[in-house]
């Protein structure tokens, strides 16, 4: 279980998170929605300790992420996988090396075993025989899928997705959504995804939380959010330019 308690974060004079409280249950997929730049990715990075909060806590299985030592944080991260917005593949390494990197560093296993796992993970995301390609040779959708294979290489308990469908064509976006769903069902992974793509949110979420002006203003199932009476929520999920949220 991941518990986010009264989290505050500012960058210089800009306040991004102003008291976010959210609980993500084991085995569920939580989707956090909100406008671009509202702090969704910042929230996600706090969960894995890439950012430290100014106030409040993130607890993973009861452990305060912000208070962990470097080695404690390293151990915690071995249970996490993260898919980054631009996939963030290491461009000096091949696809195979990208997926294998964490396995080679953290697991005592032979080359053959590593290669077998890499091939299996790549197959899970619908890619085969691409191990020797460099990230620069891949399309956007393929990069995301390799990023996903890398994130799940160590069989994590938690997977964090930062805008998993942004920049993809609708068919590829749906393919990624299905993959996320399959991973959650097949491997019973606890997932947190941030997105502003509502179609994706409805498809993958067990529950949806909406982040607005640094706080969670809505929490509920996809059905509940559609029935929400909040004008802010309604404007966002319908994607309308006029309403209480100012465009710009």
Partner 1 sequence: MTSHLVVLGDRVIDSLAYVGGIFTLLGRIYAALPSLFKRFKLTIEQMSVIGVNSLPLVAFTSVFTGMVASVQAMYQIAGKTPVIYLGYGVCKAVIIELGPVLTALVVAGRVGASIAAELGTMRVTEQIDAMESLALDPIEFLVLPRFVAAAIMLPVLVVFADFVAIVGGGVVAVLTLRVEPQVYLDGLRLYFTMRDVFGGLLKSAVFGMIIATMGCYHGFTTGGGAEGVGRATTKAVVASSLLILVCDYLVATTIFRT
Q: In terms of CB distance, is 82 or 168 closer to partner 1? A: 82
Task: Using alpha carbons, list the distances in angstroms from residue 137 to 41, 133, 190.
Answer: 27, 6, 32
Contacts of 23 (CB under 8 A, 6+ apart): 1, 2, 3, 4
SS3 121: helix
Asked if residues 27 and 38 have their Cβ atoms less than 8 Å apart, the reply is: no
- The minimum distance between CB 75 and partner 1, in angstroms, equals 7
- The residues that bridge with 193 in the sheet, in sequence order, are 31, 161
SS3 133: coil
- The minimum distance between CB 137 and partner 1, in angstroms, equals 16
Burial class (CB in 10 A: 0-12, 13-18, 19+), 210: buried
User: CA end-to-end span of the chain, whole Å?
Assistant: 36
Please select the residue that binds partner 1; options are 19, 86, 170, 243, rule is CB under 8 A: 86
Please select the residue that binds partner 1; options are 9, 46, 77, 144, rule is CB under 8 A: 77
- Residues within window 172-231 making contact with partner 1, judged by CB under 8 A: none
Contact flag: residue 82 with partner 1 (CB under 8 A): yes
Torsion, Cα of 185, 187, 190, 196 (10° steps): -60
Asked if residues 217 and 209 have their Cβ atoms less than 8 Å apart, the reply is: no
Contacts of 111 (CB under 8 A, 6+ apart): none
Q: Which stretch binds partner 1 (CB under 8 A): 58-66, 100-108, 190-198, 212-220?
A: 100-108
Q: In terms of CB distance, is 75 or 169 closer to partner 1? A: 75
Q: Which stretch binds partner 1 (CB under 8 A): 81-89, 115-123, 189-197, 221-229?
A: 81-89
Please select the residue that binds partner 1; options are 14, 91, 136, 239, rule is CB under 8 A: 91
Please select the residue that binds partner 1; options are 84, 212, 218, 236, rule is CB under 8 A: 84
What H or E segment, with its residue span, contains residue 56? strand 55-60
Cα–Cα distance between 99 and 114 in angstroms, integer? 9
Please select the residue that binds partner 1; options are 81, 96, 141, 214, rule is CB under 8 A: 81
Q: In terms of CB distance, is 66 or 220 closer to partner 1? A: 66
- The minimum distance between CB 25 and partner 1, in angstroms, equals 22
The tokens describing 91, both together, are 């461009």
- The minimum distance between CB 222 and partner 1, in angstroms, equals 28
- The minimum distance between CB 240 and partner 1, in angstroms, equals 30
Q: In terms of CB distance, is 121 or 207 closer to partner 1? A: 121
Q: Residues interacting with partner 1, by CB under 8 A?
A: 12, 45, 48, 50, 70, 74-75, 77-78, 80-82, 84-86, 88-91, 101-102, 105-106, 150-151, 154, 160
């Amino acid at each position: 279980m991941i518990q986010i308690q009264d989290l505050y974060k500012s960058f210089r004079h800009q306040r991004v998170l102003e008291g976010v409280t959210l609980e993500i249950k084991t085995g569920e997929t939580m989707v956090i929605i909100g406008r671009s730049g509202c702090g969704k990715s910042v929230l996600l990075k706090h969960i894995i300790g890439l950012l430290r909060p100014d106030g409040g806590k993130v607890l993973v299985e009861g452990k305060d992420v912000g208070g962990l030592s470097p080695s404690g944080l390293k151990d915690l991260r071995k249970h996490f996988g993260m898919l980054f917005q631009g996939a963030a593949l290491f461009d000096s390494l091949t696809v195979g090396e990208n997926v294998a990197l964490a396995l080679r560093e953290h697991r005592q296993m032979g080359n053959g075993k590593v290669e077998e796992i890499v091939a299996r993970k790549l197959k899970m995301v619908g890619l085969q025989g691409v191990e020797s390609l460099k990230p620069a040779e891949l399309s956007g959708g393929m990069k995301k899928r390799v990023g996903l294979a890398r994130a799940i290489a160590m069989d994590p308990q938690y997977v964090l997705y930062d805008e998993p469908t942004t920049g993809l064509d609708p068919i590829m976006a749906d393919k990624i959504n299905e993959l996320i769903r399959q991973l959650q069902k097949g491997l019973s992974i606890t997932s947190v995804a941030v997105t502003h793509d509502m179609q994706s949110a409805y498809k993958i979420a067990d529950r949806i939380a909406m982040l607005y002006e640094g706080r969670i203003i809505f929490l509920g199932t996809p059905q509940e959010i559609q029935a929400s009476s909040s004008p802010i929520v309604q404007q966002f999920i319908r994607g309308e330019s006029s309403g209480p949220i100012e465009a710009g």
